[in-house]
Structure 1
Amino acid sequence: MHVFVVHNRYASAQPSGENNVVDQEVALLRGAGHQVESFERRSDDIAARSLLGKAAVALTVPWNPAVRAELAARLRTERPDVVHVHNVFPLLSPAVLAACADAGVPAVATLHNYTQICPPGTLQRGGRPCTQCVGAAPLPAVRHGCYRDSRLATVPLAVSLSVNRRRWWSGVERFFCISAAQRDVLVRAGMPPERLAVKHNFVPDPDDRRSGAGEHLLYLGRLAEAKGVRLLMAAWEEIAAGGGVGVPLVVAGTGPLEGEVAAWAAGRDDVRYVGLYDQDECRKAIARSVAVVAPSTWLEAFGLVVVEAMAAGVPAVAAGHGAFVELVEDGVTGLLHRPGDPASLAACLRRITAESARNREMGRAARRRYEQDFSPDVGLKRLVDGYRTAIAGRSGGGDSPSPSRERSTGSSRGNPGERDGGS
């Protein structure tokens, strides 16, 4: 199969699970024998633009005609079987869907968040769930400045959502939802259910797995309000006041709360703030964990760090809402705390560190769940099945690329039972 992957890469200064998912998915497909081409823009490139060039970015967020022309030309020349769209903000825009239509190539799209129904994609405002824009004009998002706390920055996203809603729904043959929880929200918001398929993110099988009891509790991710960082700090203060849990808390990542987290951790012997880890350091830190902590206050569409912990045989303590409810079986593969409740989070952290035998059993159960639902083999099968469904939908039948297109690309058809991706 010949696949075109379309993605606007997030800035490299901050960790991006979505970038990682795209890269892993491309490697997975190529490893299975599929031909994969990439059509990308990089947010890092915005910094090198002139002031006028930077200001012009906002104008093309809803629609970028140059991208449409460039992508359509490439698709007409290279004739892929399917286009897989990931992030299009801010440099690509939904014009990529028009390019697919221009060239007559079916498109699939992975929904890594909620940008189809919420301008910032979080379904959250002021640290609490918010659905004011769902199924309606996104004027509340503009009024509250939901993207980066800025009305001006929110306007292009709100305009794009308003003018391109129907284009997304009609221009994509198959949407990949990264959890059933996300799909349920999108269906309730009015998206066409027949085009929404659940395809969990996969995680490569790590070289590092936990072999002992673990050395620390680990928070690994973006240091932002929506990720529950302040909630975790409040819970940890409660734990420290009661004498601690015998292991330190390691916080790895960067983001808008970095200064606050670094100041909080400074001078403490029960907290280590280590900054931004690379992928190898992340894997090693997870494998040395008593548990991974995911206390998000927003409704996570997935929760990649939880699955990375499963792969390493490590249980998770996660908020009991959003995708975490389907990823973590409470008391079996980890523990769920009441969302937004520091006392509940503190109680779960005490429990998962105090019951060492139970912790090890939860780690083994987490690894079994990974092998069953989140391994590369499972992921690839779901990914390729989705591609075939999209191709069949566009052609009106059949379950594979046309022979003429396969001959023209010279691509070989890989095993459709190997691995998948997401955010």
Structure 2
Amino acid sequence: MRIGMVCPYSFDVPGGVQFHVRDLAEHFRAQGHDVLVLAPSEEDESHPAWFTSCGRPVAVPYNGSVARLTFGPVTSARVGRWVDEGDFDLLHIHEPVTPSASVLALWAARLPVVATFHTSTLRSRAMHAANPLLRPSMEKINARIAVSEAARQTVLTHLKADAYVIPNGVDVAAFGSARRDPRFVGRPGRRTVAFLGRIDEPRKGLAILLAALAELDTSGSEVPHLFVAGPGDVAEAADSVPAALTDRVEFLGLVSEPDKAALLASVDAYIAPHTGGESFGIVLIEAMAAGAPVIASDLEAFCSVLGDTGAGVTFPVSEPAGLAERLRQVLGDDDLRARMSRAGRERAGDFDWESVAARIMAVYETVVEGVEAAPLAAESTGIVARVRRRAHKLGLGGGDA
């Protein structure tokens, strides 16, 4: 199958949507499918041959973060030309309501379209206000995928349409086989924990984690050594560390994928103190696959990823005292961490790309078959029902993750 994938966010910047598109494209290409990807990026030669830039990105505040998007007449012309000349069997558009390449690709589409919704924004005034403008183009979408139940509820609330729930995928084997790095390994009297995320983005919760560490006994060994990995202004973030913790917090900056896997495989726990705006929790799955016990805020998306498996523990959102108590509980109990690690590795298998990509391909095949047998504007609810029947026949589980 010849597939065109569109990502609205800059491919130069690490992010969950970008990684999802990249990994899905590589997985399908390895299976023999012809996959091309379009997204904003700086026009250099560092991207693979199957990637095309549709314009240089611009930083725009979006969904509680800063997204790097591209738009305008030049971008629109590039997107339209890429879609028209691609000779695709199907177009897979990610975040189709994001004002960037995705919206432009949807406007240009004259072929079967699958759309994946990654965002959870139930109270988005912008999406509500834009709904009348978006509705005509939304009708071009033949099947909708949501990466979580929270993202599905966003689609239902704002677009009055249903979506088939398929989670993000993870290369479980890559994280599961990562070797421990002596730099990050904890020991009695010096436990280690990790935080991954944009350090200058408040909703990632680094400030909550630092406040929780400050509530521990800083005079003894109760405070773990914290490794902070992710993009952002390290100097500014370091200034926010309480004086009593300066020798317990180490900023690594942006790390490579192998180093990230080694970090997660080595620490005594992974901490996800996010305060909101999360529709999934892919880094939780990466941590579980690497064997790291997870301590996470009780966001709906995180609770869904962890499930009732014993792979992680949660604390109330934005409550440092609750996080501090969980740190004492997990870091002080070797047997508990061992049980959490085993449960996490097992849970991570549910999100392996082999299973996730097979479910997405089932959507593709159902859409293409449906379009060949019926008009392009076939009811999406019928598509969802057919996808669920196909997934059941393939033994890929139901529609919900």
Scaled to the shorter chain, the TM-score interval is 0.7 to 0.9
Instruction: Indicate which of 164, 168, 174 corresponds to 1:201.
Output: 168
- Structure 1: 5+ residue runs without aligned partners? 46-52, 124-130, 138-160, 399-415, 419-423
Alignment map for 1:186-335 (pairs within 5 Å): 186-193=155-162, 196-204=163-171, 205-206=173-174, 207-208=177-178, 214-215=185-186, 216-223=192-199, 224-241=201-218, 243-245=220-222, 247-255=224-232, 258-265=234-241, 268-329=246-307, 332-335=310-313
Is the 1:309–1:315 Cα contact (8 Å) retained in structure 2?
Answer: yes
Alignment map for 1:67-146 (pairs within 5 Å): 67-86=75-94, 91-92=100-101, 94-101=103-110, 105-114=111-120, 131=123, 133=125, 136-137=128-129
Aligned residue pairs total: 346
CA distance in 1, matches of 2:71, 2:224: 51
Cα RMSD (Å): 3.3
TM-score, structure 2 as length reference: 0.76
- SS in structure 1 at match of 2:345: helix
CA drift at 1:175: 2.1
- The C-alpha deviation readout for 1:285-341, integer Å capped at 9, x for no partner, is 111021111111114111111010111122211111221011113670010111111
Instruction: Give, as a single letter, the amino acid of the residue that structure 1 aligns with 2:16.
Output: G
CA distance in 1, matches of 2:23, 2:360: 12
Q: Which residue of 2 aligns with 1:39?
A: 38
Gap change, CA 1:362 and 1:397, over 3 Å in 2: farther
CA drift at 1:388: 1.8
CA drift at 1:163: 6.1
CA drift at 1:375: 0.8
Q: Which residue of 2 aligns with 1:148?
A: none
Gap change, CA 1:275 and 1:254, over 3 Å in 2: same
- The C-alpha deviation readout for 1:79-105, integer Å capped at 9, x for no partner, is 21111112575652512112112xxx1
Q: Which residue of 2 aligns with 1:409?
A: none
Q: Which residue of 1 aligns with 2:18?
A: 19
CA drift at 1:268: 2.1
- SS in structure 1 at match of 2:169: coil
CA distance in 1, matches of 2:365, 2:219: 56
Is the 1:218–1:249 Cα contact (8 Å) retained in structure 2?
Answer: yes
Alignment map for 1:3-14 (pairs within 5 Å): 3-10=3-10, 12=12, 14=13
Q: Which residue of 2 aligns with 1:395?
A: 372
Is the 1:94–1:164 Cα contact (8 Å) retained in structure 2?
Answer: no
Q: Which residue of 2 aligns with 1:369?
A: 347
CA drift at 1:44: 7.3
Bigger mean CA offset, 87-96 vs 105-114: 87-96
Is the 1:334–1:362 Cα contact (8 Å) retained in structure 2?
Answer: yes
- The C-alpha deviation readout for 1:274-294, integer Å capped at 9, x for no partner, is 211121211111110211111
Is the 1:8–1:43 Cα contact (8 Å) retained in structure 2?
Answer: no
CA drift at 1:17: 2.6
Is the 1:10–1:44 Cα contact (8 Å) retained in structure 2?
Answer: no
Aligned-residue sequence identity (percent) comes to: 28
CA drift at 1:197: 1.2
- SS in structure 1 at match of 2:216: helix
Is the 1:75–1:100 Cα contact (8 Å) retained in structure 2?
Answer: yes
Gap change, CA 1:72 and 1:246, over 3 Å in 2: closer
Higher RCO (CA 8 Å, separation ≥ 6 residues): 1
- The C-alpha deviation readout for 1:38-80, integer Å capped at 9, x for no partner, is 23321678xxxxxxx999x99xx89755555544444444421
- Structure 2: 5+ residue runs without aligned partners? 45-55, 62-68, 187-191, 376-393, 397-401
Is the 2:40–2:57 Cα contact (8 Å) retained in structure 1?
Answer: no
CA distance in 2, matches of 1:381, 1:359: 32
